[in-house]
Amino acid sequence: MADYRKMWEELGMDLETHDQLCEVLPQAFGDVYLSQENRPEGMDYYNMVVADIHGIRPAELIEHQKKGGKVFGTFCVYVPDEIVFAADAIATGLCGGSQFWVPGGEKVLPTNTCPLIKASVGARLDRTCPFFRIADMYVGETTCDGKKKAWEILGEDVPIHIMDLPQMKREKDIKAWAEEITTFKNVVEEFTGNQITAEKLGESIKLINEKRKALERLYELRKNEKLPISGRDVLLISQIAFYDDPKRFTKMTNALCDELDQRIKDGVSVISSGTKRILLTGTPLAIPNWKLHNIVETSGGVVVCEEMCTGTRYFEHLVDETRTEVAGQIEALAERYMNINCACFTPNTGRLDDILRLAKEYKADGIIDVNLKFCNLYDTEGYLVERGLKDAGIPVLGIETDYTDSDAQQLRTRVSAFIEMLNH
């Protein structure tokens, strides 16, 4: 790993505590990823990105800032990256997926807050993540209660703009979301000093659509009986999609897909026949949360699809590229983003429809509905989702977990029993 200490120091990071994180990550990555057999060669790129996760990309973002560019940190797939990139700024995902950051969040948040929020707040306040230090402005949203209140705490430390996400999907809500996107555009223009023209916005819509298409292509390949790539590897790619340079990410993901196409032609598979195909649905799995995929894939199963924000919710549905006026482009953005089915909406029946459709497309043998501890929204929605799946005759296992390893053994027992049951 290159020496980035000077850069971290200049970012005002707590180097001593950060060193502890740098020590545990490679071990975890090695255990979960490098132990796999027959990985595609194209994974080398993502291995490299993750090995230098706090170095390479942060250095690029700082370079961008030195040239006068701004960096926006986001926490949710409803926030349109297109607006940010259209102002020659960079958007980067900031969701925390490590237990390492949770105690820092618990210093200011109630313990019964979901680990994703606690880790995100802890990463900022404890100064142990360069991405959280670099972002010039955070973009929050009014999705769940935990996040809404966390913005007030984070807002004391860093400039933050909050987007008011509707909670229903009526015609007037989609209009309201378009208005919110317009307000966001004005904020971004003012903060960056760059105007967002129709031409610029058109380019960034294409840029992000291309990224979505590359991910869609990758997911398509998982529909094959002979699986050219593991679920763990795809999860890593989905997680990296949130902060990598979009153009390079698209290129590398398409190159990987070329290799996977060839694997399919050659009949190469990373699983043996009889391995049970599992679809995961539920709360997001932010980097480096690889726990459940690892358990499934070392217990006789393989993850073939994630109906999650780190999964299909991130890339399904393209933004209409035919609109040529800014107002029309914003309408197209609002329509696309309001197609995402998150449990923060009521009703949210579209999510169950999505899961049923995906289960069929990916030929899932069973579904695991995974809930991050203390996420009330997904926990409550789990009742309707699991009932709907049972009604459709699809085996489902509901689990709740956090970022600690304390329940790993118990989870392994439950997941193994579920997969075993699918064999009969």
Residues of this chain that interact with ligand SF4 (CB under 6 A) are 76-78, 114, 116-117, 143-144, 146-147, 283-284, 309, 340, 342, 344, 372, 375, 377-378
Nearest distance in Å: CB 78, ligand SF4 = 6
Nearest distance in Å: CB 200, ligand SF4 = 26
Query: Which CB, 249 or 345, lies closer to ligand SF4?
Result: 345
Q: How far apart are CA 291 and CA 282, in angstroms?
A: 14
Query: Which CB, 214 or 372, lies closer to ligand SF4?
Result: 372
Query: Which CB, 78 or 249, lies closer to ligand SF4?
Result: 78
Query: Which CB, 76 or 86, lies closer to ligand SF4?
Result: 76
Q: How far apart are CA 295 and CA 399, in angstroms?
A: 13
Nearest distance in Å: CB 400, ligand SF4 = 11
Query: Which CB, 4 or 184, lies closer to ligand SF4?
Result: 184
Nearest to 25 by CA among 105, 133, 129: 129
List the structure tokens of 97.
């997926």
Nearest distance in Å: CB 363, ligand SF4 = 25
Contacts 24+ apart (CB under 8 A), 69-73: 69/192, 70/136, 70/137, 70/191, 70/192, 71/134, 71/135, 71/136, 71/137, 72/135, 72/136, 72/137, 72/138, 72/139, 72/188, 73/131, 73/132, 73/134, 73/135, 73/137, 73/138, 73/139
Nearest to 112 by CA among 146, 140, 148: 146
Query: In this structure, are residues 169 and 345 in contact, taking their beta carbons and an 8 Å threshold?
Result: yes
Nearest distance in Å: CB 299, ligand SF4 = 24
**How many CB atoms are closer than 10 A to CB 332?**
20
Nearest distance in Å: CB 154, ligand SF4 = 13
Query: Which CB, 4 or 290, lies closer to ligand SF4?
Result: 290
Query: Which CB, 96 or 130, lies closer to ligand SF4?
Result: 96
Nearest distance in Å: CB 77, ligand SF4 = 5
**How many CB atoms are closer than 10 A to CB 188?**
23
